[in-house]
Structure formats: structure tokens, C-alpha cells
Structure 1
Amino acid sequence: MAPIQPLNKNHFAKRVVVFQYDGGRADIIYGLQNQSYETEIGQPRVPIIHNRIKEGKANFGIQHAIVPTESRVCVQNMMGGYQEDMTAILSGWASHDTLKYDRLFNYVKAGFFFGPELLHNIFENQKCSSCVRLDDYPDSAVNYNDHKQASTFDQLVYQKVSRLFNNGTLDQGEKPNQLLKQYVSLKEDQEKLQSEQLIIYINWIASDAIGPAFKPVNKEYHQSIYTTGKLIEKTEEKIRNYYKDDGETVFILLSDHGMADNGAHGDGNPQNTYTPFVIWGSSIKPAEDELDPQNPETHDDFSKKWGLTMKKRVDIDQNQLPSLISILLGIPIPINNEGVLPLHVLDINLLQKAYALIQNAFQLQTTYQKIQQLVEHKQKWFFTEYKISPSNVFDNLTKLKQQADKLAEITDNGKNASLQQKEEVKQIISDTYVELENIKNGIVYLKLYQKQILQIVVGSGYVSFMLLCLVALFRYNNTSEESEAEIIKQNKIPFYKNICLIIVILFGLFSLFYLNLTESKPVYYAYFGLPLYFLYQFYRQRSFLNQGWDFSMLKNIGCYALVALAGQCLMYSFYERQFIGYNFIAVSLFSLIYSKYSFGNISKTTYIWSILCLIISIFPILPPISIANDVFYAVGFAAISITVFYISFYHFKQELQTSVKVMTVLTLYCGGISLYLRTVESSTVPYFVYGINWAILFSLVGSVIFLNLHKNSDSDLRLYSLIVIMFNLALLFGISYDTLFYIIFAGLLKSWIEHEKEISILFTKEQKIVPYHFYFIFKFILIMNMSFFGIQDLVSLGSFNYESVTRFVVNLNEIVTLALMVFNLTFPFLCGSSAFIIICKSAYQKLKSVGLFIISLIYAEIMTINFFFMVKTEGSWQTKGGSVARFVLSSMLVFLYAFLFLIAHKLFKSTKIQSI
């Protein structure tokens, strides 16, 4: 697409300087010093912000950031106004070169970037690589667990900036950072500094480096905010002095994202999305006075604590920044920009504002037109325009520009406008906003053009597959060989009488024609083809549904309704962790009632199972673990140590394998080293400690392989061995009451095995699937969900507490962190699958294992079809990304269960499990 050239004849500033607090929270940056360790209680934590606002120079408010930041969304949104597609989260930070989008630096005459090497590709100028100077440092040098070392990188950035404006020298008496490279004062740099349309972007990384490890509620984070604020103040003064306060500079202080209390920043928590936005300088409208500072109109409880209620707060969205900077510098707005210009922060006349907004509208109309061209090219005969087409919008904007041109001629570009002419300009601005709304609605219409038809086709695929699973379940478990052969014989129909097959073929041919004509993606053929195949197979084998339960029709319908309700309960567990706890409470009560009804009394085994269900239900009802708690961890450490030593050396006695004895002793090291690493600074920890931790981690993996090779016949001992491995991992990764959770989880698995053995006596004469087996699988999936969501809300990586991996790494690495997190989650899953295998082989050995697996598929499909229709295409990044993540996780359950069944089956293949 061609960029839209500026409509205003003059720019409003020669240069824009951006101070970016990386990972800076609005409430802490705006806030007053109020902690005992802060030196100036009651004074601003970042004085330059309060000074500029109170002096009547700056405008301020909240910049609503786009999250999550596992990809390039935040900084990219500030430079290009473009929100990345959700799938880009899979590419991570390392794939900058594969992403093509427009940004501010493609249009400036000169630019400077100071910050980590990780970001520098975003600031390159694709059209003139020599126009932008990148003065970065290696990101690998930053120690995210050493607040003293991390804070020096902001000092390094200041030295780099200071050196530029001092013509190659540092401030007098300043000791150079060891990473400060030899600098040659280039004439070209000084020429860039004097040019118009200049952007200087300065990234201050200390707060983002310190926050995940030390948490933004602690003194290390507060001190980094304060220290960086002083450096920003010195930098601003140095720049103003260099240009002799010529009034042509705009300063912007902001953050790319915030920081939650647990140090993460990947979800929609306001702590992550509420970031500071302070702007002052040329053509910037200062904040207006509040009429009543005691009851401010524009402040809420969040901002009243800042001590700025005498001035009005003005908020913007993060994607509005590129259009604002473009208008100030008089350059084209990036063509991928999605944001609308925030007129309320500009101190220019109304006609200039109208021109600026019309330019923004033309830029967005170009996007609208391009998207329609792409959709129309593919849809061909099937395309229907939105009611306000791109050409309609273009014509309307052209008329508005012509009106503005006439007013510009008679008012000296808006300088001498009368009251009536100002009202006409206001109407032009109002009409432009109407066109902007039409553009937004038109783009949404086009992006979701095939939504309804795809929902119908894909939804029917899930429903038909679920029905086919139900048929297969009753065919292979409840049907004898004789009756199966008879049903197959009855279902054979000649082709000319097979109306269903003829309809399937005709619809399939039409689908091929439609998909080929619309140039659809290859996966669309599967979307259309699989439902046809599943529905036809279901139609052929529908008679096997009669082999289901020997109940009346009303009772059968009731059983199916309960299965669907159970699937819904499991689905809601993905949205609200509390539902897992509520489900366990229901299971606990039902187990007591069912046992009393079936046996006439409640056994000790059932009591233990029910009590453990109630206890473990507490964990998902509690908030997710966000902050380390040494007391909870120490209690869990003690409980695990006592438990494993008691069971290992008293219960199993001589039967215990040497490897398990070693792992039992390792619990003391794992818990002790975790407590030690939390009480000392990472810079003082010898590197060999991390080496030992990695060695233990690999040895635990190796012990699983050893268990598979070892010919031990005791299934209880083998399950216990896996549980001891899980305990060791819990101690290495744990930070709070998660250690207590895993010991309750282990007890739950053992009691579940005994409880199912007891209940299965009721079905020893049955060799077919009954409704209780659906309840049994419901409990299995519920236990698996508990192992996944019990102590964390892990739909997004942003909710993962990075302190869990500090026992293994000094510098946080995205790939290593993800691998460690997945590894830590694997063993609770494996223990749950192992308990399931033991139950299948001991309690339900007369059933075909494929039958129980098919039931898990049915539950997975019930959840997945719900998540499919709940995928969001509107709202914040977190809203859309979270809905997609739940759909993907649910879809992957099928593969996860199959994989875990395979491993657990291999582990227990050589063991002798006593059947009922």
C-alpha cells in the first residue's frame, strides 16, 4: 500500500524524544515514595513527571498497553500501531526478520535507538539504513536475577546518550561502563541531530530486568524506577541544553507494558496494561486544571493516590502513539497503523486537527480497501460488500478534505477562523470520526467474512466425530461378535438406494467447486471433508447406538444429559480455576452418597478419598501463586521429607530400590538448595550449584528410563517411585504452597486407586460400558486438570512465575524457561496417567482399553466444541489470545492423553498388577 502524505503544510516539531521505561507500572512510576526503605517519603518517585505536570507543561494519563508480550506486540505497537496476529506468539522474539510491517523509522530523516540488541530490528529504517543509528548492547549480558548488575544497564544507556550529545565524551568524572564500546565522534551523527523529522528512542531496561525476579512490589524495583527517573531527568536537561530550548522538541515518557505483582506481564491484568503516558514540548496541550481537586472529574481511585488530582488525566491506547508522532513530525502515518490520532493532546488550531485526522482516516481507508481487494479476489461470485464500502468512505473523505481546503484558503490555514467557521471545522472533525467508525466496522466485517460458514462446517465436524466416537464405543465394547456381524449385514445398501451416500457425494462436489473457486487454504478442504465422512460413517453405523445402555428412553436421555453436563463442568475449569474445586467438592459428596446407596455403609477407603477431594479442592479456589512464601515452602518441604522418609524406610523397607533411596535422600538437597537460593543474591551463588541442579534434573529423567528397564513386579512401588520424582521436582521448582499441593495430590492418586478397586466390585459381572465408566473418566480428566491448574492459571505463559526456574538459570531465556515449565508439568500428568493405568488393569481389566480411551475423546470433544464457539475475535490481546489458547489446549488433550497412556503403559508393562 502507498503511504498517505501529510495534509498539513507544516510540521509541529522537529524532533521527538521517547523515554521508555521497559516494564514500568503506572501506579509505581506516577506514585509517591511511601515505603520505609525510600529516602524521601511523600515525594514523587519520578520527580520529572510531577514537575512537568505541575509546571503546566505536560499532559499525562494512562497508556493502555497491548499484551501479552511473549512476541513483539508492545514496542511494535508503539512504533507501527500494528497489533500482531495471535499466531505470532509462536514465533517468539527471535523472528523479527520474518515479520513485515511498516513503522515510524521508515519515514524519519534521522533516528537514534539506545537499548538492548534484542529490539534493534524494530528500529531499523528499511528505506534508508544509514538514516538510523543503533547504539545497543548484547541482551545476553543482562543478569535478570541481579538487581545491582541490571541497574547498571540504564547507566550504560545514559552514558551512550550523554556521549552523543557531548560530541563523543562522557560527563566529567564519569567512569565508563565496561560494555561501553570505543566511540568515534562522527560528523554524520551531529548532522542527524540537527535534522528535522528526528526520533530519539531510549529504552531503559532495569525495571523489566529486575521485576520478574524481585517483583515490582519490592524495594529493588522501586529503587530502579527512582534511579532511572533521575537518569531521564539528566538526559532531558542535556537534550534541552544541546538544542538551547528552541521549542522544537517533544518529550514522551511511557512504558511498553507494566508488571504484575508476580513479575509476569503477559495477561490482561491492569497492572500489566496500565502504563504511564507523559508528553510535553512543542505543540503539546498541557493538562487542564481540575475544577475540584478534592473530587476530580477525570481521576479514579487508581490515580487519586499520585498527588496529581489538580490536573485532568487523559488516557490513550498504545496504538494511537504512531499517528501522534507522525503528525507532530509531519511524516506519513505507518501504513499498517490501526490507531486513531488522539487530538486531545495536540495544541494546534482546529483546522490543523481536521487535516491531521483526515490524513489518519485516509491511511486507515487504504487498509480497508486493500483487505476488501484480497477478500473479493478470493470470494468472486460469493462476495457481498459491507454497506459502507471503501469507495464510499474514500468519496466522503475526499469531500471532507475539499471542505477543509476551502476553509484553509479563507482563514489563512485556520489562523483567522470566525466562530461560524470553527463550527464548520468541528463538523468536519465529527464527520471524519463517523467515517473512521465505518472503516472499523468494514474491516471487522471483512476479516470475519467466512466466520459463520466456517463455524457451521467445523462445528458439525466436532459434533459428527463425537457421535461417531459414541457409536464406536458401544460397537467395540457392548456388542458381541454375532450381533455385530448381523448389524453390519443389515446396513449394507445398494448404491442407488443409498440416499445418504448420494447426498454426501453431491455436497462434496459442491464443496470442492466452492473451495477451488474461492482459492481456499488446503486445510479448508479438511474442514468440509471430515464432517461429510464422519456423518456418513455415523449414518452407516447408527444401529450400534441400540447396543448402549439397557435403560428406558427417558433414562438414556438423562444419562446423556449428565455426560454433557460433566463435559461442561470440565470446560468451565479452563476458564475459572475455582470450578475444579467445586467439581471436587461435588465428587466428594457424590462418592459418599453412592457408596452408602450401593453398599449400605461408607468404607474407610471412601472416607479417605472424599476427605482428600475436599482438601485438594481448596487449592484452585485460592488465588494463583504469584509471590514466593518461604513459610509455606518450608512447611511443605518438611511434610514431603517426613512423608518420603517414613514410606521409604518404614513402609516398603527391604523392597525399596537403591535408586528410590537415593531420590529420597535428594529431597533434603532439593528443598534445602531452593531455600538457600532464595535467601542470597544470585551474584554470590557459585556456578557449580546450578550445575548440580541440572545434573539432578537429568538424573530424575534418567530414573524414569531406569524404572522402565527394571523388572520390578510391584506396581505400588513403581508408582511411588514416580511420586518421589514429582516431589523432588516440586521442591526444585516450588516457591510457596505448591509443595503442599503435590503431597496432597499424591495422596489423592493413591486413594483414588483404592476407591476405584472398591467400587469396581459392583461391575465385575459386566463386560460392557455403563454410565459409571463415564463418571470414572470424568474423575480422571478432573484430576489431570487439577495437576495443570491447581496452583497456577497456566493458559498464558504470562501467568507463569519466573522465580520457579531461578534454581537452574541466572539469565532468563525464553526457550529454556518454557522447556523447564513444560517439564515440571509433565510429572504430575505422568503420575495421574500411571494411576489410571493401574486402575484399568486392576479394576476394569475386563473392558477393552480402547473403550475408556474413547470416553476421554468424547469429553475432549465436548470441551473443544465449546471453546471453538467461544473463540474471541474482538477485545484485548489477552481476551483473544486466551480464548485461542483454551481451544488449542483442549484440542491437544486427545494427543496428550494418548501420549501419556503410551508412556504409562510402557512403565507398567513389566509389573504385575493384582486384579479384583
Structure 2
Amino acid sequence: MLLFFILGLLVHFVFFGSIFDIYFTSPLVHGMTPQLTPLPPPAKRLVLFVADGLRADTLYELDENGNTRAPFIRNIIMHEGSWGISHTRVPTESRPGHVALIAGFYEDVSAVAKGWKENPVGFDSLINESRYTWSWGSPDILTMFAKGASGDHVYAYSYDADNEDFGAQDVTKLDTWVFDNMKEFFHAARNNQSLFSKLNEEKIVFFLHLLGIDTNGHAHRPTSREYKDNIKVVDEGMKEIVSMLEDFYGNDGKTAFIFTSDHGMTDWGFHGAGHPSETLTPFVTWGAGIKYPQRVSAQKFDDADIAPLMASLIGVPFPLNSVGILPVDYLNNTDLFKAESMFTNAVQILEQFKVKMTQKKEAILPFFFTPFKLLSESKQLNILRKARSYIKQRKYDEAKPSHLLSCSFIAVGVLVAFFLLIQDCPWTYYIYCLLPVPIWYAVLREFQVIQDFVISLLTFPPSQLAGYLFIFTLGIEVLVLSFFYRYMLTAGLIAFACWPFITQLWIRAKSISLSWIFFSLLLAVFPLMPVVGRKPDIFLVIGAGSLVLLLSLCVLTSLIKRKDRFINEELLLHLFQMLSIALSMYVVYSTHHSLLKKQGLPFLNQIISWIILASSFVLPLLSPTSLFERLFSILLSWMSAYLLLSTGYEALFPLVLSCLMFVWIQMEQETLQQSGVSYRQKVTSLQFTCNLDITQFRHLYLDDIRRAFFLVFFLVTAFFGTGNIASVNSFDLASVYCFLTVFSPYMMGALMMWKILIPFVLVMCAFEAVQLTTQLSSKSHVFILQHFFFLVKDYGSWLEIGTSISHYVIVMSMTIVLMLLNGLAHLLTTKKLELYGKSKSHLI
């Protein structure tokens, strides 16, 4: 029985402890990138007055004689600043209230089990982000922010905690102590050159915590004379402080003032719950960057919104854990500053979401993770890109979401459906007529981007613009003809070789231009090679593998010299991938000879082939995410699989194509710099990352058409370059003999399709790097799809009709497959698997 009792007690203790793991864990995340409004701030310094326990109604109402209890604050409201009602979240206590005001986030529920006086979790705050902060008041509040700050730039002056006596005769001394000590501090600063210099710097904060009103409220109730008279003491003290600061700084107009409270109080002298008397607090602000009084009703917002407002006023990064929304209506600044501040606020909150999502994704099994659909990565980028575009176009009102466009297209869809209904049309007509509605809706949602692009086109001389359009149209026709005549790809690649001479790149980057010309002409040879009736040539496969090994040795030597960036794990990975290439060469050679001797596929070769194929998916994800190393790792892994599927000259094709892709990336960066856009990193130092730098978003340029065309052309070249699918007769079952020799149409077909897709993926991975360099989006080959739509034939022989249909299907499939390959390329370039434990970083 005793054992049973102890076991039961233990179980109940476990149940009790479990609630703290399940319900009371901290929601705060760390590791976000600080976000700062890029424009000069209106204020150099900020003064924050917090009257602890002050109710909004008690401050704003008039006394029994019709007079205000706070004449200085009333004068500010009427003539100098803006005012409103701040809504304080529960629990309405001093610690979470001040954290919300200064750090911008609400109560951390984990504090239930960890502490009361101080917030037990390391958090960022306005005080931490400031250059210097001086604070006066209660040790319970000031210590919390002083400990939470990094560096040595926060100075706290507090009285003895014994002074916080509810039974004291006069507790207004808690407030007069703050005012007197601050005045003495500034008086001493006039004779202290070091302190004087600090006080005249930018991004500084003065924080005055005034506890007298709260203490009087607890002791005598908010309806008491003591509570109301304490408001007069605070009002008079603030008036003296403001006068002193204006005198000290010579009325330079660079000081912003904020007066508010952390919570209110019930009529019976308590707080902590959610009664309006506890949650509604006053908010008054004036000075640099603040609007003058307007004839509007009092505004209501959350206390956490004050933190981004203060950060915006003095130009410091928004507190990293802040969830506050900038109350932009209080700002007296340009529309550009307001828009940039709101944009920074949005990105700062989004940073928390992205870090939290990453943590969740890493902590659970992939198939259990469900991303938040309303804020997917594509939607994040789309929203931020549009907002940034509107800001650049000075269309600040448009940066707010509007439902007018969507409602208009819904109305159009209803009208179309009604028109078809009254004509008794077949159901297929509904699909044909209604499908353009959402498509054009998607197009017009990008109207701003299209408009910006058209405006940029109009800046070109008419003759030059006409020449560009002619070349682009000619290029589209070349692509269309390449479906019928493969040698047109050769013509296109020869034209590509002339690109450096047309754009003056030959003068700017001669060595890169020579490489571009050489590999373009070398790749142009492949479409001229025979498609049908070729014989296996294993020595060409072995030669391709040897060239890859030789290139790998050169790269390995180069990486070893950069010892600061090359570690043992990377060395082992590189050697293992070289071993995979060598094994692929051996398997191809030994399998070919075994089949010639009628001995069948060696079982060991079959096992090695499947292992190499499977590892080609994983090994690139273990490599560093630096651009060159990740792309080269992808080439080695996928080249080893391609060699196993090759029988002749096509084994050289991915190698030459990849070399041209590497040169293309460097050429694009040179082109970007030639056009006047300076990029701060070299190609070798670029990093693939899941998080795009939204500050690099830009409008479309004419060069972007050329980049998109290059992508489509290289994809078509990857498709038809070796004639793998140019005709039915070009399928060679010998390509899969390293994997299986027993007839299996589905398995063989899958392997052949994978062989076809490998060059596609290499092109898409290279284009990921081009996007990283130029911040370009790929949406170009819809023109080719439309062209083939009009080339579909309903006359002639079955071969002609079937060929026209198959070409249309191929291009349409390319559109679909391209989206899938884009996702695969993004995965291969940006994701990284960790075999060992990660080091954890924490933010103070």
C-alpha cells in the first residue's frame, strides 16, 4: 500500500508538472534580424513618463469645480500634442505592463512558474536598442530592463525599496524623488564633459517611472483625495522636467515626449484583472515627430503599440520580440517616412513568424508539419514586394490591402456565367469563358510591376527599343523552330556567343567572356549530333567521368587553399562525391563488358548503381550553402547518376551545360554592375538562403526579358540537346542496363525520365543563383505556349496532326514541370542537412 501510494503521488506530480511544459512555455523566439527604418528619425532623444497605476478617466475628467487636475498635460492635449486611450492587456500588473510598453510584447506565460518581479526570459527592448538610456524610479522595474540590456549603456537610479510603504504619510515622495534626482543629474552634467557628450548624442532615452499614484491608489483608493492630488504632483513635476530639458538642449526641437501608464486600478484599489478601469490608461505624446492637436476623437490602441512608436521616433531598431503595430496616425512626418516605418514594423513581426516556423519545422517530423497557408513563403514575398514597389512609386495609400479588385472580378465572373446561362450553353463553355477571369485577375494584381516595367521601357530611344523587341521576337521564333529543327538550337547558341561583343562585356570582363564564347560554341555542337541509330561508345562515358574527376581535383585544390572556409566534413563530402564518380565509371565499364560476354548485370554493380542514384538526392544537401560549393556539389552528385544512364556522347552534355551555367552566373553579375547596379558580394562569396533580402526588391528592367529568355532557351536546349526525346526511336534501353536488364516498362520509363530531367535541374539550380544575384522572378515562357496553341493542326496526315499536338503538350508540360523543378532547385540550393548537433544562439 505504501508503494502504491508513493507511485500514485509520483504520477500526480508528473501530471502537475506537465501543465507547465504544455501550457506555460515561453512564446518568445530568438535569432531574428533587427529591422530599422532607413530614413533619418525626427527625434534625437525620447523622454518616457510612466505614471504607474493611473486610470484614463481620472486623468482626463474635470474635478467637481470643472477644473483639470493636470493643467500642464491638458495644455499639451489642447495645443502641442496628440492624445488617446491605451488598452492594457491582462494581467494588469506593473511587470508585464512595462514590458509591453518598452519591449512591445505581452505577458510571457512562463513567468507563472519562474518569477514575479522580473521577466525571467531574456528579451529585447527599446532600452536595449538605444545608444544610452538613463532611468529613475522603482528598483523592481528599472532593474528588469537594466539586466535585459546588452553592453554597458543603460544607467538606472532607484530609491530604496523600503520607501514603497503603503502606510507612509506621504507617498508622493516616490515621484518627487524621481524629478529631483533627474534635475540634479542634468545640473551635474554641465560640469562633466564626458556625460555632457553622451547626453548630446542621438538615439538616447530618458525613462521616469512614477510609482506614487499606484501606491496611493492601493492605500487610499483611486477615488480618494490622495490619489487625485498625486496626479497634480506628477503634472507639476513633468512641467519642470520638460522646461529643464528644453533649456539644456537649447529648444532644438529634437526631443519627443510620451506620457502613459502601465495599468489602471479598480475603485477598491486593486489591479490585475480585465475590468475597463484596469485596462484603459491615458496616452499623451508631443514634441519631435508628433502631430499637433486635431479635431478627432480619442484614439484607442494597445500598450504594446507604443514600443514601435518610440523606436520610430528616435530611429532605433524595433524591439525584436515586439508584436506592437505602429500607430502611424500620431506621426507628424512625410508619407514616405510613415510608409517605411510601417514596412519595417511588418518585416520585424514577420521575422518572428519565420523564426518560429523554422523552430517548429526542425522540432517535429516533416510529415507532421503543416505550414500556415495564409502566410506561405510565396505570399510573404508577394506582399512585401508589392508594398516595397508602392513605396518606391510614392503610392503610399496603395500599400494598404484593398478588396476592390477581387470584388470587381467576382462581379465579372457572375455576369459571364449569367450570359452563358441564358444562352443554354454547354458546360465546357463555362470553363472556357470563366477561366480567363481568375487568370486576368492574377495579371492585374501585378499591374504595378507591369506598369513600372513599361515606364522603364519608355525611357529607351525608340530605335533601340524596336531593336530589342525585334531580337526578342526573333528569339521566340528560333525556339519554336527548334522543336522542328534541332540545329536551330545551334544557331541560337552561336548567337549567344556574340553576346559579350554586343554589350561591351568583352572589354569589361575579357576572361569570363572568353569562357562564355568557348562553352557556348562547345554546347552548340550537341544539337548537330545524330539522334537515331547511334551506337554505344562507353569510352566517351569514361572520358566524361575523367573530365569531371579532373575538374574536381582542381576545385578541391582551390578549396583546400581557403583553409578558413574549408573544414573536415566538407573535405570528406567532396572526396565521397569524387568516389561516386569513379564508381559510376567502373560500373558502366564493367557492366558493358559483362553484357558483351552474355554474363548479365552483376548484382554488385546493380546495388552500387541504386545507391549512387539515391545518394545523389541527399549529398548536395550536406554541402555548404555558399553558391559555388553548393552548385558544384549538385553537379558531382547528379553527374554520377547521369553517367550510369549514359551510353555515348550524351555523357559530356551535362558537364558542358554546367560549365556554361557557371559562366552565365558570373556574366549576369558583370552585366548588373555594368548597368550601374553595384552588388556588394562576389559570386564566390554569395550564399543561398531561404530568406530573401526584401530590401533588394526592384522593378523589372529590359535586361530581365533577356534573362528570362536565356532560361527558357537553356531549358529547351537541355530537353533537345542530345535528342533523348526528339523521336520515339531515340529511346535506348541500354541506358538503364546498369540498374536493371529485365524488362520493366514503368521502372525503365522512370529512369529514362530522370535522365531527361537531370539537365533541367542543373539549369534551374543555376537560375536560382541568377535570381540571387539579380533578384529576378521567372515567368516568361507563356509566350511560347501561346505560339504552339496556334500551330495545332486539324488537317494533314496523322503524323502531322500528332506532331503538332505533341509539341503543344510538350510545351504545356514544360510549364507545369518548370514549377516543380523550380521548387526542387530551391530545395537543392537552399536547404542543408546537419549530421551533427547545431550550436544554439541566444539573444540577450
TM-score with structure 1 setting the length: 0.39
If the length of structure 2 is used for normalisation, what is the TM-score?
A: 0.42
